[in-house]
Amino acid sequence: MLEAGRHPEVEILAYTDVVRMKKKGRGFALSVKKRARYVDENICNACGLCVAKCPGRAPDAFDTGLRKRTAIYLYFSQGIPAVMTIDPDSCIYLTKGKCRVCETRCDKGAINFDMKDKRMTLDVDAVVVATGLDLFDPSPLTHYGYGRLKNVISGIQYERLINATGPTGGHLYRPSDGKLAKKVAYVQCVGSRDLNYCDYCSSVCCMYSIKDAMLAREHDPESSSYIFHTDLRNVGKWFQKYEKRAGEEYGVNFIRGRIAEIEEDGNRDLTVWYEDTTEQKVKSMKMEMVVLATAAMPSKSAKGLAKTLGIDTDEYGFIETRRGAPADTTRKGVFACGFCKRPCDIPKAVSQASAAAQRAAAHVKRCVPV
């Protein structure tokens, strides 16, 4: 990210939306709206003096709501560009008309409450869409109790908990009582491979759940992990070896079966009821925390963006590509890579990114071969 941010031939327009696209000559005229961040990007150096005094509060989206952030904030510590943003919905001055503490704290004068959204038109020869994914909200699957039971969390929330820079400093303190979770269940196919929600396989959950379970063991040698799965779809390079290592060296338990119900007791521990399909028996087990591997879906804005760009998507919002030219969308000059066109893991996304670069470069040279 830093490399892209510092590359002399890459200009990053963060906090910017595509509004309209028109054909112009061989390429396109792209209208974009750069949202007002109320902080001058050229002056702010993310020193954090403003954050220390800001009274506004909002759930931290990067930490999946596990903690609160101030109204003036850095999206995350390694974010590019490294400048503060004022969230107009939680800023006390912008909502109630009084405060401006950040302005007084900033010795560089980077705060600018008069900033307005800025519209720009960019002349481009090709467009590459790489809008990635959003995660399925598992609340409708009431048998898992997400939202109702505090110690049932999603995979991405777990990632923040186990992360050293996360809200718990990398310790698996469970949300209900801050107790260290020692026995954790990881539930696969939450919303994916499900005709009611996502009828496809998200492709990455089996591997990241295994990784998560191994991380828990690395943090706490006494912890135990149970992965409740359908098929374990570890098809990538060396993934089978990884799965084997998780079982043999990290004591990860694999149980073939879906969870039917989760009950909570007085201590906020969770009893999971499941069918062990290899024994055809209904069983139950007590857990201290349950992690749901939620389905990955195209980014919520993907359908709208696709409409703006004049390209086709499927019913979920995955971008349709041309047969035999998987980086090309249905519109000439617009290319796509990564999760926005189909579920994929990192190496596949990186290969696709190179492919999109190739197709875009070829298009720009006006000699597209296919």
Partner 1 sequence: MTAKKKSKKTKKTGKAKKPSKMKQMLRKAAKTTGRGARKPARNLKEARDEDLVQAELEFDETGSAPVKDRDKRVKDEEQDLRIGVFVCNCGTNIAGFLDCKDVAEYARTLPNVAFVRENLFSCSEAGANDIRNAIVENKLSRVIVAACTPITHEPTFRAVCAEGGLNPYHFEFVNIREHCSWVHKEIKEDATEKAKDLIRMGVARAAYLEPMEPITGEVEKVALVVGGGVSGMTVCLELAGRGFDVVLVEKEKQLGGLVKHLGTIHPWGKKGADYAKDLARRVAGQRRIKVYKSSTVTDVKGFIGKYSVTLSSLKKPVTAGILILATGAEPLIPEGLYGFDSKRVITQLQMESLLAAKKLAAKKIVMIQCAGARERGRLYCSRICCMTAAKNALFAASKHRADVTVLYRDLMCYGMDERLMRDAKRAGVKFINFAADEPPVVEGGVVKVRAQVLGKALELPADLVVLSTPLAPAASNPVLSRILKVPLDEYGFFLEGHVKLKPLDFSTDGIFVCGTARWPATIAESVEQATGAASRASTFLARGEVKVEPIVSVIEDVEGCRGCGLCVAVCPYGAIELIETDKGRKARTIEVACKGCGTCGATCYKRVVRMNHFTDQQLLAQVRVAFKK
Give the HSE-up count for residue 16: Cα atoms under 13 Å, Cβ half-sphere. Answer: 17
If binding is defined by CB under 8 A, does position 280 make contact with partner 1? yes
Note whether 327 and 351 are within 8 A (CB): no
Helix and strand numbers, DSSP H then E, in the chain:
9, 21
If binding is defined by CB under 8 A, does position 174 make contact with partner 1? no
If binding is defined by CB under 8 A, does position 5 make contact with partner 1? yes
Given 6, 57, 67, 108, the residue binding partner 1 (CB under 8 A): 6
Name 267's Cβ contacts closer than 8 Å, sequence gap at least 6: none
Give the HSE-up count for residue 282: Cα atoms under 13 Å, Cβ half-sphere. Answer: 4
Name 104's Cβ contacts closer than 8 Å, sequence gap at least 6: none
Question: Which CB, 163 or 308, lies closer to partner 1?
Answer: 163
Number of residues this chain uses to bind partner 1 (CB under 8 A)? 67
Window 41 to 70, contacts with partner 1 (CB under 8 A): 45-47
- CA 23/CA 195 separation, integer angstroms: 39
Note whether 302 and 317 are within 8 A (CB): yes
The nearest distance, CB 309 to partner 1, in angstroms, is 21
Given 49, 92, 128, 357, the residue binding partner 1 (CB under 8 A): 357
Given 11, 42, 238, 266, the residue binding partner 1 (CB under 8 A): 238
Cis amide bond preceding 81, omega within 30: yes
Given 117, 123, 199, 249, the residue binding partner 1 (CB under 8 A): 199
Q: Which helix (H) or strand (E) holds 362?
A: helix 346-364
Question: Which CB, 104 or 354, lies closer to partner 1?
Answer: 354
If binding is defined by CB under 8 A, does position 271 make contact with partner 1? no
State the burial class of residue 178 (Cβ atoms within 10 Å of its Cβ: 0-12, 13-18, 19+): exposed
Q: Which helix (H) or strand (E) holds 209?
A: helix 205-219
Window 101 to 160, contacts with partner 1 (CB under 8 A): none
The two three-digit tokens of residue 126, written as one number: 């090709």
Given 69, 160, 174, 233, the residue binding partner 1 (CB under 8 A): 233
Given 161, 216, 327, 334, the residue binding partner 1 (CB under 8 A): 327
Question: Which CB, 151 or 321, lies closer to partner 1?
Answer: 321
If binding is defined by CB under 8 A, does position 75 make contact with partner 1? no
Bridge partners (DSSP) of residue 59 are 68
The two three-digit tokens of residue 59, written as one number: 């759930």
If binding is defined by CB under 8 A, does position 342 make contact with partner 1? yes
Judged by the rule CB under 8 A, the positions of this chain that interact with partner 1 are 2-3, 5-6, 45-47, 77-82, 164-165, 169-170, 193, 199-201, 203, 231-241, 244, 256, 277-280, 318, 323-327, 342-344, 346-348, 350-355, 357-359, 361-362, 365, 367-370
